Amino acid sequence: MFWFDKQNPDVLFMDNRQLTDILCDGRVLNIKPDVIADFRNMPFSDNSFYLVVFDPPHLLHAGENSWLAKKYGLLSNNWQEDIRQGFQECMRVLKPNGTLIFKWNEEQVKLKEVLQAIKEKPLFGNRRSKTHWLVFMK
């Protein structure tokens, strides 16, 4: 949702689903990743990327067929372990000195809880809104 150019040839998009739907406001939701895979087990070699953007689902509570769930996905009941594994996978596929951008919206789960789950401290990020952008370095 945040990409300015979804056709940028330097970007590889990955999601665990492919979906086209019309949202309640009439907009078309089109999730068409280059790679369909689970962020906890990425199909890439170690040290593959200079930059990784990790934008996992952030919702625990939304109707399974709601536009929120379709647009952002849902966390499992084991979300702490899922996010921790996903963060570790992001670091694994990063090249040495690579940068990880982590996006989180704390509408339902506070950022503090997420940082406790991943057990890493960001270099910097924002703290002003519900949506946080944090930067980590390998």
Contact 136, 88 (CB under 8 A): no
The whole-model pTM stands at 0.90
- Return the higher-pLDDT residue of 62 and 43: 43
Residue 70 is encoded by which pair of tokens?
A: 């379709």
Q: What is the mean pLDDT of residues 112-122?
A: 96
On the question of pLDDT at 82 being above 90, the answer is yes
- For the chain, which domains are there? 46-137 (3.40.50.150)
Average pLDDT, rounded, for the chain: 93
pLDDT of residue 125: 96
CA separation for the pair 73, 93 (Å, rounded): 23
pLDDT of residue 7: 87
| Residues 81, 120, 135: CA angle, nearest 5 degrees | 110
What is the per-residue pLDDT across 7-55, written as a single tens digit (0 to 9) for each? 899 999 999 999 898 877 888 888 899 999 999 999 999 999 999 999 9
On the question of pLDDT at 79 being above 90, the answer is yes
Handedness of CA 76, 72, 114, 89 (dihedral sign): positive
- Return the higher-pLDDT residue of 2 and 77: 77
